Amino acid sequence: MQQPMQEAKSPESINANTLFASIRMLLLLHLACGLGLALAFLVAVDFRSLTLIQNPAQTLFTVWAADALIVIPVFSQFRLDPDKCSYVKAIVRGLMGLPAGALVNALGAIVLGAPVGIQHFKKTVHWSLLMSVFTFVPAASVFGSSWTDWHRIFAHSKFSLVQMFRPMRPIDFIICLPAHGAIIGAWFGAWPMPLDWERPWQEWPICVTYGAILGYLIGVIASFGFVVYYNRQHHAKRD
Amino acid sequence: MGVSEERIWSGRRWAFAAFLGIMVVHSLAILLFTRGFLLTRTELSQYSECNDVMESPCFPPARDRNTNGSCWSKPVVGRLVIIVLDALRFDFVAPSTFFAEKKPWMDRLQVMHDLAARNRSSTRIFKAIADPPTTSLQRLKGLTTGGLPTFIDVGNSFGAPAILEDNLIHQLGQSGKRVVMMGDDTWVQLFPDHFATSYPFPSFNVKDLDTVDNGCIANLFPALDKEDWDVLIAHFLGVDHAGHIFGVDSTPMIEKLEQYNEVIEKVVGALERQSGPGDLHENTMLLVMGDHGQTLNGDHGGGTAEEVETAIFALTTKKPNTLLAGAESSSCQLDVHGRQVCTSSIQQLDFAATVSALLGLPFPFGSIGKVNSELYSLAGGTWNQEESITGDDGNPSEVQSWMLNYVNALCINSWQVKKYIDVYSSLSLIGFSDKDLLHVSELYSRAQELWSITSRNISGAFVSPSLVRSQLDAYSMFLESVAALARSNWTEFNLKIMGIGFCIMLSSLYLNAFLIRRLDKLFGLQSFFSDYLQNFLGVNLACIVILIRAWSFLSNSFILEEGRVASFLLATTAILQLRHAIMKKMMLLEALVLCLLVPFLRISIELSQLKQAVNSLFLKVDSSNMLGIVNDSELWMYVAEVLPMVALIIVAYLLYKSITSCSSQGILKYVIAGTLFNYMLILLNWASESSLLSPNLSLSLIKGNLIPQVIYASGLLQLSLLVIGQLIDRGRTSNLEQSTIVKALGLISAWSSTTILLSGKQGPLAFLALLIGGWCLIRLMALERNTKNDSSGSSLSYALPVTQWSLLAVCMFFSTGHWCAFDGLRYAAAFIGFDEFNLIRQAILLTIDTFGFSHILPIFGLPLVVRGYLLNQSKQVYSIRICQVYLMYGLITAIATTFTMLCVTIQRRHLMVWGLFAPKFVFDVVGLLLGDLLIFLSALYYTT
């Protein structure tokens, strides 16, 4: 397999050839993201006959476990520094990123208003693990502990379009957009919770999970679009 | 900066004009809107006269019977004893078997169950449904006038103005009945010169459970043996006060109920002793009733089932011959002792009409109630339709004569209501809609057509029961549809005035924004757009947050959860700032602290929601959402005692540090020393009240009201010191920023002791949270700084911090245990340090308690946001900045209020409009006006 991100530190100097060659891989990656989630739900609903509304904790557990099984190996393929870091090490990085990301997500959720009672503990844990699979795990697999890369992905300075996209590589899109999509989706997903419709899905963390998944999928589609666009531009430049 | 240098810009004069202008515009808008939204019903000055009844198509009582002064219908009760037990919940009266679960406060009024089970024909328990607003004054007004007092009257509840409408007490006086009143002095304020004798006792000291009740008891029993009255009213307040102070599930409440049980037993005994033929109480009716219910916290005022459902226990000494076997609306259950107890249901609206009919009085002119058949039947013998048809049991002729009596009463009742509706429609500016009026008139004319047949039959010999029944149905239908019409239509929103008020409010928003921009121009800002781009993130975030919060008021659920919505939004901005801080690699600690502070605020918001949810129909909070900290273990009690004290000591330490760090500020030192002294007094006060810490300390000397009064006085002294300092110091300070910090610290510390004292144990914690939050926000301002030299930047960089400041203030309101409803007011706080009621003094204390942490302290502390990076700037710039920040804060509050106005307009026919939207509106409006005033004062205080 070809490694796409050889000269990672200076994005402008990416070998367009390498990039173009890897674009098919990146598209496959997208497919894996989307299908992985679908598969995870399939496992949860069909094989273990769980639904999110009736037993949220077990369903979330199944989903994140199944999704992690797909996401970690796939993203580990795209690790940033394949010379220094073996495939196994990347997988271990991803696995270590899982609880760390869960902790950050759980704290964020509690800051925003997730219930802190003991009987919600399990749900919160599994939900944040799922969020971690959406947000932290891919980045952990790919970047490891490279602070600059994390900083670039999750805290880029401006929301101006120019600065937002110029220093990005395709793999950045694939990590950044779905992760932000999941977080923003979860944020919107919390909105219906206080309404008095008395639907079972208004419970924590069901609608937040729905929001996160929806946001994640939108992010995946958007990043897919960006990768195609980016590829075409570079293709044109090469010509 | 160049442009403004030549101009002479007097900050204080400008601030005076601008903020006063905004305040005036806001007041005008709110005044107009409120006039349209919270309308009073038009009170008619007509009175029912004895002779009026000749105009009716019904049978007036024969003239020769008219010796007793009664004229509209045949009196069926000689004397009436009304015992009002304030805030009597229905489950105090009904047997516990009527409810899903037996609670400690149930089954305490055993004498009622006993009597109701023994004499089912002469005794009955009613569930009485009150109409909101369920405050005592409104209910007394509703009970006596038979109308529907409107929401706006709530404001008069403390002032208790005399009732000018026609009412029961007036009619009693007109008919020459002598009324004796004892107990709650609200009655005397409502009816200043209607009573033959009155023994009023002060009602406003909520802490006092016994004065009113003991006064009642002392006067009640001697009066029962006297003949010098026809109607006796005794109003007991103990249960209401016990609820306010201790809650329903408390020992004082149960003791009160057991005391009442004894009192009622003795009253019934006294009545029955003299109930023989020719005796004093031969034909006396006893009504033991509540004016409204109360929630488990002892609050009332709203429209929830617990507040609305109260009880009437009725007993007549004249025993009817026949047993009344189950009326239509009654439900029977075996009580805990296996006795069968039945309860029926009655609307409080019907009380005035029914009592008037019982006593044979003219019905109050504005009464729209219906004579209640079951209450009427208790006195007038028996009424059982089945028996009257079959006639195989009891005395058919007695039944029949009673029936005819009742039909006649209903006829008079319908005629009076129709007359009132007609007069009202012609006199009131906005009457009922034509369609509704037509419907009601149709029902009435149909009933009258039937009556022409029935009356002919009555004049003849025989009336068929089925005819009577259909006549009753026709009248009932008319009366019920009038009541429904009145209930749904009484709040006549004046959309035109509301619209004008709303438009003025909108234009005030524009004015506000315009003034901010104008100051920017004064400042010499070149390009608005480039500045906007510079602060793109902050400004947009601020706008989004404000708009989300504003739109959320459209939904009743979001209004209920307003505190959590605010904390959610605050947390969102805090998380984004944390991200920003990580990006800039600065102020990480502050951002993190702010993020961690929000969950604590939210937990205390949820705790206060738990308190609210106990009695709210609307709000359902899963108590299990909380950590399991509501247990009563020794450790927890100890923590609850010690934690506030620790927090207070920390606050004191911080203040102490602040004076030592500030270089030589004369007045500040005295002010802060005074505050520290006050804190010590607060600690002493708590220690003296505490059971855990000082079981053997003899602090009884300083117990009582001395400490709070000293704290209030010293707070006032501090404030006046600050004002004097301001006057002396005018314009002499060289370093404006330093002096502003000093002034702000002084002002906040001067207010803090009073606010903390009023807030009770949560006070220091809330104050500490406010200080930490404020500190974080001030420090995080640095993140918004884009360039080294801020003087070229516009006010837009302040948008986010000021928004966060206002969100923090909103969170503080909810996390200090308040919510936007009248049962959320903590009346007990108004009596800290004082035992007697004084309207102005207590209102000020209540305002400080309610708005202290959410309006007073945040607004006085707001100039601190400006600090930090304006080191080398002229006084003018600094003053302009302060004005801008205040304008912005005012704008944010005004936007929220504008949307509340919009939402109450849209939702004005919503089910919860009086329960939820109107209180929210009132709180927002009061908050806005108070905020305007505080902003005005502090702008004068801070600018030069």
Decide which of B370, B390, B410 is a domain's last residue: B390
Contacting residues of A for B630, CB less than 8 Å apart: none
Residue A38 lies in a domain: yes
Closest Cα of chain B to A163: distance in Å? 13
Query: CB-based contact (8 Å) between A148 and chain B?
Result: no
Residues B148, B205 within the same domain: yes
- Alpha-carbon separation of residue A57 from A60, A101, A216, B746 (angstroms): 5, 18, 20, 52
Contacting residues of B for A190, CB less than 8 Å apart: 568
User: Which stretch of B238-242, B315-319, B446-450, B925-929 has the lowest confidence by average pLDDT?
Assistant: B315-319
Instruction: Suggest the residue from B533, B553, B557 to mutate for an interface test with chain A (most A CBs closer than 10 A).
Output: B557
Confidence of residue B502 (pLDDT cuts 50, 70, 90): very high
Residues B662, B754 within the same domain: yes
| Chain B 504-533, residues with CB within 8 Å of chain A CB atoms | 533
Q: What is the DSSP letter of B8?
A: -
Could you tell me the residue range of the domain that residue A187 belongs to? 15-238
- Tell me what pLDDT residue B121 has: 76
Query: CB-based contact (8 Å) between B907 and chain A?
Result: no
Residues B16, B113 within the same domain: no
Res B428 pLDDT > 70: no
Residues B92, B12 within the same domain: no
Strand partners, B344: B126
Residue B917 lies in a domain: yes
- Of the partner residues A111, A115, A195, the one whose CB lies closest to the CB of residue B598: A111
Q: How long a stretch of residues is chain A?
A: 239
Average pLDDT over residues B645-661: 86
Element (H, E) at B304: none
Q: Count of CB atoms within 10 A of residue B316's CB? A: 27
When comparing pLDDT for B397 and B68, which is higher? B397
User: Which stretch of B449-463, B520-534, B875-889, B911-925 has the lowest confidence by average pLDDT?
Assistant: B520-534
Query: CB-based contact (8 Å) between A160 and chain B?
Result: yes
Q: Residue B159 is encoded by which pair of tokens? A: 């002032």
d(CA B754, CA B750): 8
Asked whether the beta carbons of residue B580 and residue A187 sit closer than 8 angstroms, the reply is no
Average pLDDT over residues B329-355: 84
Give me the percent of chain B exceeding a pLDDT of 70: 81
Res B223 pLDDT > 60: yes
Average pLDDT over residues B101-110: 88
Res B209 pLDDT > 50: yes
Residues B16, B102 within the same domain: no
Task: Name the residue in chain B with its Cα closest to that of A149.
Answer: B583
Res B261 pLDDT > 90: yes
Query: What pairing do the DSSP bridges indicate for beta strands B340-347 and B331-334?
Result: antiparallel
Average pLDDT over residues B855-867: 88
What is the total count of domains within chain A?
A: 1
A169 sits in the region (left: phi over 0; alpha: psi -120 to 50; else beta) called: beta
Average pLDDT over residues B353-378: 87
B394 sits in the region (left: phi over 0; alpha: psi -120 to 50; else beta) called: left
When comparing pLDDT for B535 and A107, which is higher? A107
Average pLDDT over residues B204-211: 78
Best CA proximity match to B123, nearest among B366, B323, B421, B350? B323
Q: How long a stretch of residues is chain B?
A: 944
Res B658 pLDDT > 70: yes
Contacting residues of B for A151, CB less than 8 Å apart: 582-583
Res B161 pLDDT > 90: no
B106: Cα within 13 Å, side-chain hemisphere: 14
Name the 3-class secondary structure at B142: helix
Q: What is the pLDDT of residues A115-153, one digit of tens each?
A: 887 888 889 999 999 999 998 888 888 888 777 777 777
Residue B423 lies in a domain: no
Asked if residue B833 lies in contact with residue B708, where contact means CB atoms within 8 angstroms, the answer is yes
What is the total count of domains within chain B?
A: 2
When comparing pLDDT for A78 and A99, which is higher? A99
Query: CB-based contact (8 Å) between B631 and chain A?
Result: no
Task: Name the residue in chain A with its Cα closest to that of B604.
Answer: A113
Task: Name the residue in chain B with its Cα closest to that of A157.
Answer: B583
Strand partners, B83: B234, B288
Decide which of B330, B361, B390 is a domain's last residue: B390
The owner of tokens 């019904």 is B58
Could you tell me the residue range of the domain that residue B521 belongs to? 2-33+494-942
When comparing pLDDT for B162 and B437, which is higher? B437
Best CA proximity match to B932, nearest among B894, B901, B904, B882? B894
- Alpha-carbon separation of residue B179 from A88, B132, B174, B175, B268 (angstroms): 95, 27, 11, 11, 20
Residue A6 lies in a domain: no
Res B793 pLDDT > 80: no
- Tell me what pLDDT residue B505 has: 95
Closest Cα of chain A to B556: distance in Å? 8
Residue A98 lies in a domain: yes
Res A21 pLDDT > 70: no
Average pLDDT over residues B898-906: 90
Q: Residue B747 is encoded by which pair of tokens? A: 């002002």
- Tell me what pLDDT residue B400 has: 72
Residue B44 lies in a domain: no
User: Which stretch of B226-235, B594-603, B607-616 has the lowest confidence by average pLDDT?
Assistant: B607-616
Give me the percent of chain B exceeding a pLDDT of 90: 22
Q: Buried (b) or exposed (e) across A90-119, using 16+ Cβ within 10 A?
A: bbbbbebbbeebbeebbbbbbbbbbbbbee
CA atoms B570, B573, B576, B581: torsion sign: negative
Residues B25, B86 within the same domain: no
Asked whether the beta carbons of residue A113 and residue B572 sit closer than 8 angstroms, the reply is no
Res B334 pLDDT > 50: yes
Strand partners, B123: B315
- Tell me what pLDDT residue B732 has: 57
Decide which of B390, B409, B443 is a domain's last residue: B390
Rounded to whole angstroms, the maximal C-alpha distance in chain A is 61
What's the CATH code of the domain at B293?
3.40.720.10
The owner of tokens 């007073």 is B856
Confidence of residue B225 (pLDDT cuts 50, 70, 90): confident
Q: Residue A192 is encoded by which pair of tokens? A: 């219906």
When comparing pLDDT for B908 and B481, which is higher? B481
Confidence of residue A7 (pLDDT cuts 50, 70, 90): very low
Task: Name the residue in chain A with its Cα closest to that of B573.
Answer: A112
Residue B349 lies in a domain: yes
Best CA proximity match to B605, nearest among B569, B580, B573, B655? B569
Confidence of residue B39 (pLDDT cuts 50, 70, 90): low
Residues B500, B381 within the same domain: no
Name the 3-class secondary structure at B9: coil
C-alpha radius of gyration, chain A, whole number? 18
Residue A8 lies in a domain: no
d(CA B187, CA B185): 5
Residue A9 lies in a domain: no
d(CA B432, CA B424): 9
The owner of tokens 């047993």 is B323
Contacting residues of B for A107, CB less than 8 Å apart: 595
- Tell me what pLDDT residue B755 has: 92
Res A99 pLDDT > 60: yes
Q: What is the pLDDT of residues B456-483, one digit of tens each?
A: 777 665 667 788 888 888 888 999 998 8
Residue B39 lies in a domain: no
Q: Residue B429 is encoded by which pair of tokens? A: 């500016």
Asked whether the beta carbons of residue A159 and residue B537 sit closer than 8 angstroms, the reply is yes
Residues B708, B847 within the same domain: yes
Three-class DSSP labels, chain A: CCCCCCCCCCHHHCCHHHHHHHHHHHHHHHHHHHHHHHHHHHHHHHHCCCCCCCCHHHHHHHHHHHHHHHHHHHHHCCCCCCCCCCHHHHHHHHHHHHHHHHHHHHHHHHHHCCCCCHHHHHHHHHHHHHHHHHHHHHHHHHHCCCHHHHHHHHCCCCCCHHHHHCCCCHHHHHHHHHHHHHHHHHHHHCCCCCCCCCCHHHCCCHHHHHHHHHHHHHHHHHHHHHHHHHHHHHHHHHC
Closest Cα of chain A to B906: distance in Å? 18
Asked if residue B500 lies in contact with residue B435, where contact means CB atoms within 8 angstroms, the answer is no
Confidence of residue B814 (pLDDT cuts 50, 70, 90): very high
Contacting residues of B for A118, CB less than 8 Å apart: 627-628
Asked if residue B99 lies in contact with residue B106, where contact means CB atoms within 8 angstroms, the answer is yes
Contacting residues of A for B533, CB less than 8 Å apart: 160
Confidence of residue A201 (pLDDT cuts 50, 70, 90): confident
d(CA A108, CA A105): 5
The owner of tokens 């008395």 is A198
Single-letter residue type at B8: I
Q: Residue B418 is encoded by which pair of tokens? A: 């129709």
Res B582 pLDDT > 60: yes
- Tell me what pLDDT residue B769 has: 93
Q: Exposed, middle or buried, B627 (CB in 10 Å: 0-12/13-18/19+)?
A: exposed
Residue B123 lies in a domain: yes
Average pLDDT over residues B623-633: 51
Three-class DSSP labels, B727-794: HHHCCCCCCHHHHHHHHHHHHHHHHHHHHHHHHCCHHHHHHHHHHHHHHHHHHHHHHHCCCCCHHHCC
Residue B350 lies in a domain: yes
Query: What pairing do the DSSP bridges indicate for beta strands B179-184 and B309-316?
Result: unpaired
C-alpha B383: how far from chain center: 41
Residues B182, B277 within the same domain: yes
Q: Residue B514 is encoded by which pair of tokens? A: 């315009």
- Of the partner residues A113, A154, A160, the one whose CB lies closest to the CB of residue B571: A113
Question: If you average pLDDT over each of B518-522, B559-563, B723-727, B769-773, which comes out highest?
Answer: B769-773
User: In the predicted model, what is the mean pLDDT of chain B?
Assistant: 80
Residues B202, B260 within the same domain: yes
d(CA B675, CA B656): 10
- Tell me what pLDDT residue B486 has: 82
User: Which stretch of B489-498, B714-723, B751-760, B814-823 has the lowest confidence by average pLDDT?
Assistant: B489-498
Confidence of residue B787 (pLDDT cuts 50, 70, 90): very low
Confidence of residue B156 (pLDDT cuts 50, 70, 90): very low
Cis bond upstream, residue B133 (ω within 30): yes
Asked if residue B122 lies in contact with residue B383, where contact means CB atoms within 8 angstroms, the answer is no
**For chain B, counts of helices (H) and of strands (E):** 33, 9
Residues B754, B851 within the same domain: yes
The owner of tokens 């729209």 is B368
Asked if residue B162 lies in contact with residue B379, where contact means CB atoms within 8 angstroms, the answer is no
